[in-house]
Structure 1
Amino acid sequence: MRDQVFISYSHEDGDYLAQLKKHLKPLVRAEQMGLWTDLDIEPGQEWFAEIKSALDRAKVAVLLVTPDFWNSEFIERHEFKPLLELARQGQVTLLWVPVRDSIWKETPLESRQAALDPRKPIAKMVGADRDSAWVEVAERIGWALGAESALGTEPAGSGSKPNAPWNWPRLRLTLALTLGGGSLSILIQLFSSPEIAGHLEKARQRLDIGLYADAAAEYQAVLELVSGHAEARFGKAKADLGRRLATGTDLEVVAPELKTMHGRAPQDADLLVLMGDRCYREKIQEDRDCAWQYYQAALASDPRLPEAHYRYAVLLNEVGQFGEAAIEFHKAHELAPETPHYMLGYGVALMKRQPADYGAASLLLEQIEDSPLARLEAAKARWAVGDIGDAARDQAKAIEWLPNPATSATDRAGWKFGLSDKTRILHLTSAAGKRCYAGLALAASRFLQGDQAASEAAFRQAACPADARDIKAAIAVDLETYAEPRPKLAERSQAFRRRLLDEGG
């Protein structure tokens, strides 16, 4: 049964091994953790057999990564490669610690998050900073193993303590022995099948792009196969917090749970993004410094996390730093090119930056299926280049898509538009508000085409509520920004605003 921690290291790094073992000693002494290194091989024992036996018992593998670690052919062949395969099968949780600078980016670890920021390896730290780093590593190992002193209790409201990691294999082993015959081998094959690895890969992909409900479902699928799977437990806990935070309905409950989890894994990039989201939603500081700091920390921890780039870009966009926002949106889009909200963010950024690229923006935005907002933004790019007919077609398509519930997945967190008062943002979440905005945009295009009757009909069909002043103001800003810089459109645009917006149509 898998119930111990396997530490892989180079003998040249024995001092660092001793430091790690010192920090893990409280868990070992409390019998919540068993450690194994090659120092446990007794004289006369067969070296390879003992390593294989230890690999078979490992639930968590810790790699102390240095140039000497990579230089060892023995480690590569007999420890590193077998551990990678066990991790791929979901049988072992793999944690790697950047101890000294190395070319880890050219190895399979490039796709696995480190226990610490690889830019600040242990060897570059001294005194209290090094102790803090080792404490973080020890806590991560405890989380992965399921040691209760490292995990603490479950978040408030769960009503249960963490499952001891040694319970599920024992129960499943008993079941297999009761069934008899070949059942045990079948059960082992089930738990080491690629199915687990597939769910974990999908979960990670969805967590990377902020699709927390989908990620939670994939992690849950793993837990239904292996109830004590440490990586799935930790991932699902993060995904559940992200899902609840996105709804914004129970921030008072979510916030302390998130703070506790972040305190146990302060360098985890996913949790840093969620901490930034908490600041953003709670508006802890109106100047958004709190969210800035967490998003920047997430990027420092994992520069390849697309959701961190996206969330940072949203902040940059809201404070008018459009050039910098375009760079961050582009990075998110580059890392996850098929993600609709990254495509939308980058497309709009191409329109707002200087110089704008309206052609590229409209082409990108029109690739997003079932997104009314993407088509409305593409229409603005059409205004800017004088293609009013294409703009009207995009707006009509947006109105056609609005009643479709499937579109809600592509237009995340409502629609946001700028107002003439730069300190305010129009945020539309209701179907009526969105229908009003889309209808007014189409009415504007019909007016710019010179079809006043069609414009007035579109205005009436928009069915704007009585308190639609901000929606009309947002349309006015759109016209001033994208249509009126073109001399041939300026006069009609101004007339539309006077007749339909200022007077109410």
Structure 2
Amino acid sequence: MRPLKLFISYAHEDDARREELCKHLTQMKREGLIDPWHDRDITGGKAWAGEIDANLEAADLVLLLISVDFLNSDYCIDVELKRALERHAERQARVVPIILRRCDWQSASFAKLHALPKDGEPLERWPTADTFFTEVARELRRIVGELRSCRIQVDDTGFAGPNENRKPGFPRPGSQAGTWEQARQWLKSHPLKIAAAFVFALAVWGWLAGTDWLLREGDRLYHDPLPEQRARATDYYEGALRLNPFLAEAHFRLGVLSDQAGNPESALTHYRRAVELETPAPPEYYSNLAYEYLALGEYGKAIEIYGRIEGYPLAALESAKAHWALGQPRPARDDQAQAIRWLKADNADHYRDPWYFTTADGGKGIRLIKAEDKRCYARLAFAASLFLDGQEADAAQAMLQTGCPDDAADMKDVVADDLQRYAETVPDLRERSRAFRQRYLAHS
């Protein structure tokens, strides 16, 4: 397997630091893992802009050496960074920022990417330069290993059949030419095998479109009314990950399926990976990850992750449950009040998505779709927290202001179930929780 082509984008004011980084990458170069390139490699007589463009287009991995001079360089930002991010978005290359010097980079176009070293701490905050660059090199070795593990080696006429031990990844443009008929015939003779569908998608549409196709097929099967068809969705999502291990969407979907299958540990693994790969992650990624921590009884971790989600009422309401389980009705009340404020925005995105709940008693499934039902649920929970905190008069007043519809049985059932699962596991809250359920949530 050829070394990964590594392109280093930097401002010339940082040339000495770039040279130091290259020294720390020498061992990986000797091992044949990487082939670094930077503009100091341009020899006399060559057009420098053309050489930079050619090497940037060929790169598998692009390193951005971030400093105030990098941010101040029109060429770095408008030419190299712009094209690097385009290739990253197209999954043709991986872009990794390395924070060399302290500067205002957090709002830059690359800020959503995972920066090195950990937490984006610049060189000046490390004990020595060697400590800094050694940590960067170790992280880059891990990334290089991931990229190499997902590369496919296919010649211009070769076909990665189902019995060949080839790892999918980043095929060269045109490397699948001439394989359409072979893939179609394999699919015809093996219609139910994911390997055939995987190869078919790769051969016909190429790497990027192939992953999209596998995700779409998985989604189609997931929504199929037949359970045996839904079970096959996992194969397609796993196929997409074999093609691109950095596909956050596939990890998220596998997390959902694992959760529905009653495997929270597997769901947690997939959700964590989805959040790591998609920065910033969508609210539902964080919400589902936090929910798995909640389900596993890691309440502090659940609260911490729910706290990262802005403008998402369900996350605040779930965080409140974790506070109940920790015997903290006041922070729970604060989370619920925040959710109620967010729910007042009638055009908010969360109104388009149903909220799903499954009660512990018999596994009753409840779905809240209407805005008024969601507000009712949030206000009932808020009143419960007031009652748990000993504020019975305030709780009674809050119950008069819930605005619940005449038939609020489902919302009451969900809050009653939440209290039993979380508040009633805490001895100091148990009696008050039971009293609130009997007084306000029992069916008439």
- TM-score under structure 1 normalisation? 0.51
Shift of 1:62: 2.0
Given candidates 380, 396, 406, the residue that maps to 1:393 is 406
Shift of 1:250: 6.8
Aligned to 1:44: 45
The question of 1:423 aligning with 2:426 is answered: yes
Shift of 1:293: 5.7
Closer, same or farther: CA 473–118 of 1 in aligned 2, 3 Å: closer
**Do the aligned residues in 1 keep the contact of 2:327 with 2:423 (CA within 8 Å)?**
no
Q: Gaps (5+ residues) in structure 1?
A: 150-158, 179-186, 204-216, 346-365, 403-410, 427-469, 484-496
Closer, same or farther: CA 292–121 of 1 in aligned 2, 3 Å: farther
Aligned to 1:236: 250
Cα distance in 2, alignment partners of residues 32 and 78 from structure 1: 27
Given candidates 344, 349, 372, the residue that maps to 1:338 is 349
Deviations along 1:92-127, one digit per CA (max 9) or x if unpaired, are 332222222222233212444434555623431225
The question of 1:319 aligning with 2:326 is answered: yes
Structure 2 residue identity aligned to 1:338: D
Structure 2 residue identity aligned to 1:384: Q
Cα distance in 1, alignment partners of residues 115 and 260 from structure 2: 27
Cα distance in 2, alignment partners of residues 125 and 190 from structure 1: 43
Shift of 1:74: 1.7
Aligned to 2:167: 163
SS for the counterpart of 1:69 is helix
1:51-450 aligned at under 5 Å gives the runs 51-118=52-119, 120-127=121-128, 130=132, 133-135=135-137, 137-139=139-141, 141-142=143-144, 145-147=147-149, 163=167, 165=169, 167=171, 171-173=175-177, 175=179, 228-229=243-244, 231-232=246-247, 236-237=250-251, 240-241=254-255, 243-244=257-258, 247-249=261-263, 251=265, 281-283=295-297, 288=298, 292=300, 296=304, 314-325=321-332, 330=338, 338-339=349-350, 368-369=369-370, 375-378=376-379, 384-385=397-398, 387=400, 391=404, 393-396=406-409, 415-417=417-419, 421=424, 423=426
Deviations along 1:435-483, one digit per CA (max 9) or x if unpaired, are xxxxxxxxxxxxxxxxxxxxxxxxxxxxxxxxxxx9x985632466x79
Higher fraction of helix: 1
Aligned residues: 364
**Do the aligned residues in 2 keep the contact of 1:95 with 1:115 (CA within 8 Å)?**
yes
Closer, same or farther: CA 248–173 of 1 in aligned 2, 3 Å: same
Shift of 1:71: 1.2
Cα distance in 2, alignment partners of residues 341 and 135 from structure 1: 45
Cα distance in 2, alignment partners of residues 425 and 374 from structure 1: 28
SS for the counterpart of 1:68 is helix
- TM-score under structure 2 normalisation? 0.57
CA RMSD in angstroms, aligned pairs only: 6.1
Q: Gaps (5+ residues) in structure 2?
A: 152-162, 183-202, 220-232, 357-366, 384-394
Cα distance in 2, alignment partners of residues 29 and 305 from structure 1: 50
Cα distance in 1, alignment partners of residues 55 and 406 from structure 2: 65
Structure 2 residue identity aligned to 1:292: G
Cα distance in 1, alignment partners of residues 234 and 82 from structure 2: 26
Closer, same or farther: CA 310–390 of 1 in aligned 2, 3 Å: closer
Structure 1 residue identity aligned to 2:326: V
Cα distance in 1, alignment partners of residues 65 and 74 from structure 2: 15
Given candidates 462, 476, 486, the residue that maps to 2:435 is 476
**Do the aligned residues in 2 keep the contact of 1:5 with 1:35 (CA within 8 Å)?**
yes
SS for the counterpart of 1:163 is coil
